[in-house]
Chains A and B, each alone.
Chain A
Amino acid sequence: MKNLFLQLLLFATLMSSTFAGSGGDILRATFTADSLEYQANFDERAIYWDTYGYIGYDINKLYFYSEGEKPHRESANSENQLLYSRAIAPFWDVQIGVGLDRANEKYKSWAVIALAGLAPYFFETRAALLVGGNGNIGLRIDLEYEALLTQKLILTPKVSSEAYTKNEPRMGYGAGLSNLTIGARLRYEIKREFAPYVGIEWSKNFGNTRKYSPFNELYLVGGVRFWF
């Protein structure tokens, strides 16, 4: 862990000197908790987070993503990625790096290539292709839209889905479409950087994934979105 941290620091340092911008292209580092929430219905309760952060310049950045949940009385599951991100088009970044999933107290690492950006009609989009050592290939897609009800009251519908080519019962992935999650969150930006929200979400596992983990729930969410 210590070595990894120092290596990261070294990488960040190298990156900032190698790809250093000049003039108006300043080094910036930022962290966003897009969601940090409590999810509940009559049957289930969980804490869920969806966060990312980066350090870098206009074109070159180092990104991390962490998304996960800790169901009540169970251990936490998460999907984490660390990537080099490069702007390739006005609205699009290509990201290459590594992923580490944690499920059922087991770990799986991936090589990751992703496309992230703003699609026409203002859809915040991210599609990540994951390649595992065992030849399993995964696809994770997130689509989000921000609808301003007022300047501070913002409704965010969101769709996420995952698919894999192989069964991995140990991690709970099944071949084919694995999960679809559709939700909407309504936040109030007290400041741009801080917004409490409430929302509703439906999530369902499909195919073999459903066999390993038969999840099909509609639940309410409440939490805060913040960044700095």
Chain B
Amino acid sequence: MNHLSRRDFLKGVAASGLVLSSINVHAKSYGVIERKETTELSGNVFHLTINKTLVNVTGSPSIATTVNGMLQGPTLRWREGDMVTIHVTNYLDEPSSIHWHGIILPYQMDGVPGISFDGIAPGETFTYTFKVQQSGTFWYHSHSGFQEQTGVYGAIVIEPKEKEPFTYDREYVVLLSDYSDEKPATIYRKLKIASDYYNFNQRTVGDFFAEVKEKGFWEAWQARKMWNQMRMSDRDLSDVTGYTYTFLMNGHSPSKPFQALYRAGERVRLRFINAAAMTFFDVRIPGLKMRVVAADGNNVQPVEVDEIRLGVAETYDVIVEPKNSQAYAIFAQAMDRSGYALGNLTTNPNIYAKVPKLDQPQPLTMADMGMGMHMADMKKMPMKHNKYALKKPVPITQLPMRWGVGTTMRAKNPQYRLDDPGVGLRNNGRRVLTYADLRSLRSTKDDKYPDREIILHLTGNMERYMWSINGIPYHEADPIRFRYGERVRITYINDTMMNHPMHLHGLWSDLETGDENHLVRKHTIISQPGSKISFRVTVDAKGAWAYHCHLLYHMKDMFRKVVVT
């Protein structure tokens, strides 16, 4: 090294730099703007700008990317039946985009670079225009790079044409997100180098001895054996945690909670949206029952619960009726219990509710490893009465599958677990919403029976932090082809230890929750670890659509293009 002249060194670096194209030259830069308070915009014409924005979420300043300078972006209020026109100008020095999550529209308006359009180049404006054909609670976010992590997201509220089947006196958007001062590329690189980097809830030697004390050495050893042989951790709940994240509710950190004011006797509608990059939230309002009236924007038969898990990108509308003039905490724990987002539902902004303690994290179970052993089996339910099986099987279209370096686990006996609230919420003494509780308000009795079925294995290697569908990452995969007019049944088998929120663009996912006549209509479906879940899709929109896991750091590879012809 000491013999190497500086000039030669630089030549070498330049040569490698050219090939690696790590040198980025930007003609212009649009600067950094100040953060503004989040507001609501309504009408049919909208002007949005995407800017680098100076924020202070954690106590130290950082640069976010925002819509109209707001973290979160402005809430867009549309009316069902309207034509909306949205001009989006990109003032970042990299390409950007806005995707309207869960909105049914022509594919060219869907906002996914490389699939719907070319993206919005720096300094350019793209005009989205489409007819609003639905109502309810939705959201929007960037589909470029990791911009969703750094703030490009906001809520969409669509007022229905017809009267809603429920009433309320007041409403709030309650949008949950996760913010980090670390650059997303830094987070991702760390995960690639050490996938447990952010996990501070790993098994310790003490945990093992506690189990020995509880069950005896042999039992404890047997319980660990499978996990140890498979080199998997039952504490692997979230890839990115409160170690780096501050969890936000409507842009507010827990230190200065979001305030939702109400007057005594009012019914309050809360529009929960999980706009996080990587975080599942378990939401409850201690002291209040939540009446769930809509899931992913679609009305459901009302169901009263204490707690709801929101997978990334899911939305739920609930109505609460606070009886006393007091303050209630809107408490949204991260699934791994490494932190929470907080709101204060109160009659007086100076009165704050008592904040509950975080729950103890629960470990994953053998069921989460796809080894069966679910409650249903325990109860010795005869398999032939499985209400989740199709009455009359349909042909299965085989798709390419690759087991290899990128796949560590194979669910040997994946079960339908619609009534399983999921890890962390099991037997917690509260009434927790499960998918089995969801029944669409509209009848689906006359919906077309599926023509065929495809099975998608959600696959990965946590140790190497590789993710894929059917063992094949997006860039090596052929598109999934649907025929216009057909009805396809899609079954996920989750061959990983993670929950994956799967989002199919452009087409509704009618989830089989056990009642054939009331399939619930969703845009994002959680596939629980080691489980199986099925839904049906009426292929009623031509074009090219994105289809992916909505965990931001899984998305690039756990992704497919869907082509409808």
Contacts and interface: CB of A to CB of B under 8 A. Distances in A.
Interface of A: 1-2, 5-6, 9-10, 12-13, 16-17, 22-28, 30, 58-59, 87-91, 118, 120-122, 147-152, 155, 192, 227
Contacts of A120: 228-231
A6 B10 CA distance: 11
Contact of B228 (A13, A28, A90, A122): A122
Given A9-B12, A16-B20, A58-B192, 15 more contacts: A1-B2, A2-B5, A5-B1, A5-B9, A23-B557, A24-B473, A24-B554, A87-B405, A90-B406, A90-B408, A90-B464, A120-B230, A121-B231, A148-B202, A149-B205
Contacts of B557: 23-25
B78 interface: no
B463 interface: yes
Contacts of A122: 228, 231
B396 to A, nearest CB: 27
Contacts of B474: 23
Contact of B8 (A6, A90, A148): A6
A27 B229 contact: no
Interface string B6-46: 00110011011001100000000000000000000000000
A148 B528 CA distance: 28
Given A2-B8, A148-B204, A87 B473 contact: no
A5 B4 contact: yes
Contacts of B559: 23
Nearest to A58: B466
B415 interface: no
Nearest to B203: A148
B560 to A, nearest CB: 12
B231 A24 contact: no
Contacts of A58: 192, 405-406, 464, 466
9 contacts: A5-B4, A16-B19, A22-B475, A24-B466, A58-B192, A90-B408, A121-B228, A122-B231, A149-B205
Interface of B: 1-5, 8-9, 12-13, 15-16, 19-20, 188-190, 192-194, 197, 200-206, 228-231, 404-408, 461, 463-464, 466-467, 473-475, 553-557, 559
Given A1-B3, A17-B19, A28-B192, A192 B197 contact: yes
B259 to A, nearest CB: 35
Contact of A23 (B2, B200, B556): B556
B12 A91 contact: no
Contact of B204 (A23, A25, A27, A150): A150
Contacts of A26: 188-189, 192
A10 B15 contact: yes
A122 B234 CA distance: 13
Contacts of A12: 16
A90 B461 contact: yes
Given A16-B20, A24-B556, A5 B12 contact: yes
Nearest to B224: A121
Contacts of B205: 147-149, 155
A118 to B, nearest CB: 5
Given A5-B12, A16-B19, A91 B201 contact: no
Nearest to A152: B200
A6 B2 CA distance: 13
B405 A89 contact: yes
A17 B197 CA distance: 28
A90 B189 contact: no
Contact of A118 (B9, B231, B405): B231
A16 B9 CA distance: 19
Nearest to A27: B20
Contacts of B463: 90-91, 118
A179 B512 CA distance: 62
A90 B4 CA distance: 40
Interface centre among B12, B408, B463 (most CB of A within 10 A): B12
Contacts of B16: 9-10, 12-13, 16
B199 to A, nearest CB: 9
A155 B206 CA distance: 13
A13 B475 contact: no
Contact of B1 (A1, A13, A150, A155): A1
Contacts of A91: 231, 408, 463
B210 to A, nearest CB: 13
Contacts of A25: 466, 473, 475, 557
9 cross-chain pairs, A with B, having the tightest CB-CB distances, nearest first: A24-B556, A22-B475, A24-B557, A13-B16, A23-B556, A9-B12, A23-B475, A90-B408, A148-B204
A159 to B, nearest CB: 18
A12 to B, nearest CB: 6
A152 B202 CA distance: 10
A179 B59 CA distance: 53
Given A13-B20, A89-B405, A192-B197, A6 B12 contact: yes
A227 B189 CA distance: 13
Interface centre among A24, A27, A87, A227 (most CB of B within 10 A): A24
A13 B194 contact: no
Contacts of A149: 204-206
Nearest to A12: B16
B405 A1 contact: no
Contact of A2 (B3, B15, B406): B3
Nearest to B204: A148
Contact of A1 (B4, B190, B192, B407): B4
Contacts of A148: 202-205
B19 A192 contact: no
A6 B189 CA distance: 26
Given A1-B1, A25-B557, A26-B189, A151 B204 contact: yes
B409 to A, nearest CB: 9
